[in-house]
Amino acid sequence: MALTVFLVGSGTFGTVTAHAAEIPTSGLTAGDATVLDINGNSVPDNGDLSWWTNYSVAYDWSIPNGTTIKAGDTAVVELPNSAQAKHDLNIPLVNDLGVVVGTFSIKAGETTGTITFNDVLTSQTTNRKGTLSFYVRGSNTSSDVNMEWGLNKVGWISEKDANGVPTKLTWNVAFNPKGINLGNVTVTDTLGPNQTFVPGSVIASTGSYDSAGHFSTSGSTTPTVSQSGNVLTFGFTDVTTAVNMTYNTVPDLNGAASGTWKNSASLNGKTVDSQIAWGGSGTGNGTNDQDLGEVILTKMDKSTGMSLAGAEYEIRDANNDVIMSGLSTESNGELRVKDLAAGSYTFVETKAPEGYELSTEPIPFTIAVGQTSAVTVNAFDEEEAPSVTYPGGPENPENPEEPENPGTTTPPTNPGNPGTTTPPTHPENPGTTTPPTTTPTHPENPGTTTPTHPETPGTTTPTHPSTTYKPGSGSGAANGGAGGYVTGNNGYAGSSSGNNGYGYPVASGSGNGYVGSTLPQTGERRSNTVSYWIAALALVAVASGLWYDWKRKHH
C-alpha cells in the first residue's frame, strides 16, 4: 500500500475549474462496429453501403480499469465506412437497474457521434462496459441502378414531434421501371406491427426512371384501395408506364426510445421487404471490486498540540469538485472518512473551531489502489488574536470631537461674570457714557483703579498691551459710550466697543494657570503670569500719571 501526502506551503490554494475530458475507450471505432442489413445479414467492414438502404450498427464498448470518470466526460463513436446517421439521435445508456449512465448523440448526416457520461460511473472503477446500437444509412448514391428490379419498396419518417419522436411514416412502392405494358396490376402490401394505415393518404404518379433510379413524373393514376387486417390491396388498370406510389402510417412506439417498422410488398409473385428504423439502445454498467480506502484527519492547536473539536471540512477530488461536505472533527480532534475509492483528494476547512482562525491551507492526501489501511493527516489552527480595548478612553482617539477648534477657550457664559459693560446711566444725555466702576475681588492684582470723576466724557482706559481682540466672541453688549476696560472677578477682561455696543473678551486668567476653563489636553498654552504682572504694573503707572495730570489741571 502506498501513501502520498503533499504539504502545501504558504501559497494560496487557487480554484481549479473542472473541464470535461475525452476518456479512453475500446470497442467504439469504425472497425469495431457490427453492420447488418434490413434482413439481418452481416455487411463486411469494407462494404459500400447504399443510400437507399437502412443498416443497423452495434458496438460493445468498455473503459479501462482505473480510468477516472467525472460528469461531462465523453467518448467518441465512429460510424462504419460509408455510413452516416439518417436521423438526429439521442440514445440513453442505462445500467441493469434502469439508471442512465450516459447519452449517445449524433446528428443526421454525421459520421461520428459522442457518448457523454454523467457521474454514475464515477464511483465504479472496474468492469465498466456496455453496448450501443442504432440505425444508419449508406452514403453511396452514385452506383448504377439496373432496370431489372421490377418492384421496389422503401420507407422513411416523414413527421416528428417536438422531442424528435416519429409521428408519421411514409411508405413508397414503385414498379414497372422499364415502362412496359402490364395491363391490370394488383399490388399487395403487408404492414408490420406497431403502425396504422392512414386512409386517403395514397398518392400514385406515372412517369419514368433513369439509370440512377430517379423518377420523373408525367401524370397520375388513382388505384383502388382495400384493407383486410394488416394487408392492403392496391388495384391499377392499363399500366403502361412506371408507377411511383406513396401512403402513410402512424407509428406506435409504446413509450420506447427506439423502434423499427417493416412492410412487405408483392407483385406477380415477387416480394420486397422494407424497414424504417429510428432510435437505438444502449447499456452501461460497472463494479467496484477494489477495497475502499479510509482517511483520518486530526485537528490540533498549532501552539499547544491540543486536540480541537468542531472544525468543519469538505473533501474535494482531483478535479477540485466537492464530493463531501459538512464533515466535523470529534472531541478527540479526529475526523474519519471511509469508503473512498482510489484517487487523489484534498481536505479544505470551511469552519474553524470556536476561538480559532480559519485555515486556508488545504490538506491533500491520496488513496492508492488496493489500499486497506487508513491514511492519516494532521491539520493545525491558530488561536484568534485577543481584541484590545481602551477603558475610559475616547472611542475615536485619532479624531477628537472638535478638531476644528484646537486651543480655543470658552468665554464665560454667566452674564454676571466680569467682562460685561454697564449701559449709560444718563440716556437723556446721549454721547456721554459713565465709565463703569468695578471693585476688584483680588487685591493681589494691583493696577485696577476707579476713576473719581466719571462725568468727564472721553476718558478711556488704555488697552491691555498683550491682548488680541476677537470680534464677536465677547459676552454681553454695551449700548453706546466710548468704551472702557474692566477687570472681572474671575480674571476675565473685556472692553465695550464705542458706539456699536459689542463686547470683546481680551484675556482670561484662571487659578490653575491655564487660559480659560478648558482642559490642558486640548492643546492650549499656559498663561504667562509674569507678563500679566508686568502689564498690570504698567497700567498702574499710566493711570497714576493720568490722575496726577487731571488733579493738577483742576486745582
Residue-wise pLDDT tens digits, 218-238: 999 999 999 999 999 999 999
Question: In whole angstroms, how far apart are CA 542 and each of 10, 73, 498, 533, 547?
Answer: 82, 107, 21, 14, 9
Mean pLDDT of 192-208: 96
Q: Computed over its alpha carbons, how large is the radius of gyration of the chain?
A: 55
Which pLDDT does position 518 carry in this prediction? 42
| Residue 443's pLDDT band (cuts 50, 70, 90) | very low
Phi, psi of 545 (to 5 degrees): -65, -45
Please say if the pLDDT value at position 391 is more than 90.
Answer: no
Which pLDDT does position 149 carry in this prediction? 82
Q: How many residues does the chain have?
A: 555
Widest Cα–Cα separation across the chain:
174
Whose cell is 488561536? That residue is 383
Please say if the pLDDT value at position 549 is more than 70.
Answer: yes
Please say if the pLDDT value at position 11 is more than 70.
Answer: no
Q: Which of 151-165, 230-244, 312-326, 435-449 has the lowest mean pLDDT?
A: 435-449
Please say if the pLDDT value at position 282 is more than 90.
Answer: yes
Phi, psi of 43 (to 5 degrees): -110, 125
The DSSP line for 234-285 is: EEEEEE-SEEEEEEEEEE--TT-S-EEEEEEEEETTEEEEEEEEE-EEEE-E
Which pLDDT does position 500 carry in this prediction? 39
Indicate the residue type of 386.
Answer: P
Cell of 139: 452514403
Mean per-residue pLDDT of the chain: 76
Please say if the pLDDT value at position 25 is more than 60.
Answer: yes
Beta carbons of 52 and 272 less than 8 angstroms apart: no
Mean pLDDT of 208-214: 83
* CA–CA separation, 123 and 68 (whole Å): 9
* CA–CA separation, 354 and 244 (whole Å): 85
Beta carbons of 170 and 158 less than 8 angstroms apart: yes
* 330: Cβ contacts below 8 Å, ≥ 6 apart: 309
Beta carbons of 129 and 122 less than 8 angstroms apart: no
Please say if the pLDDT value at position 78 is more than 70.
Answer: yes
Whose cell is 420506447? That residue is 256
Mean pLDDT of 124-141: 89
Which pLDDT does position 284 carry in this prediction? 94
Most confident listed range (34-38, 52-56, 429-433, 540-544):
34-38
H or E, element range at 195: strand 195-197
Most confident listed range (268-277, 291-300, 324-333, 383-392):
324-333
Of residues 249, 247, 226, 260, the one with CA closest to residue 172: 247
Please say if the pLDDT value at position 299 is more than 70.
Answer: yes
* Paired residues of 215 in beta bridges: 209
pLDDT tens sequence across 493-536: 343 434 333 343 433 444 443 444 444 444 444 545 666 778 77
Beta carbons of 474 and 411 less than 8 angstroms apart: yes
Report CA torsion sign: 63, 65, 68, 70. positive
* CA–CA separation, 156 and 171 (whole Å): 7
Q: Identify which has the larger pLDDT, 426 or 41.
A: 41
Please say if the pLDDT value at position 453 is more than 80.
Answer: no
Which pLDDT does position 46 carry in this prediction? 65
Beta carbons of 491 and 509 less than 8 angstroms apart: yes
Beta carbons of 230 and 191 less than 8 angstroms apart: yes
Domains by residue range for the chain, with CATH: 34-138 (2.60.40.1280), 151-275 (2.60.40.740), 290-382 (2.60.40.10)
> In angstroms, how far is CA 149 from the centroid of its own chain?
65
* 297: Cβ contacts below 8 Å, ≥ 6 apart: 313, 329, 334, 335, 337, 347, 363, 376, 377, 378, 379
DSSP state for residue 181 in the 8-state scheme = -
Question: In whole angstroms, how far apart are CA 234 and each of 199, 229, 230, 520?
Answer: 13, 14, 13, 121
Mean pLDDT of 279-283: 90
* Paired residues of 375 in beta bridges: 295
Mean pLDDT of 135-140: 88
Q: Which of 11-25, 69-83, 366-380 has the lowest mean pLDDT?
A: 11-25
Q: Which of 10-14, 193-197, 341-345, 460-464 has the lowest mean pLDDT?
A: 10-14
- In the chain, what percentage of residues exceed pLDDT 70? 68
Q: Which of 39-48, 324-333, 361-370, 517-526 has the lowest mean pLDDT?
A: 517-526
- Outline where DSSP puts E strands in 498-543: 503-507
| Residue 473's pLDDT band (cuts 50, 70, 90) | very low
Mean pLDDT of 379-387: 89
* 465: Cβ contacts below 8 Å, ≥ 6 apart: 535, 538
Q: Which of 12-16, 272-276, 461-465, 530-534 has the lowest mean pLDDT?
A: 12-16
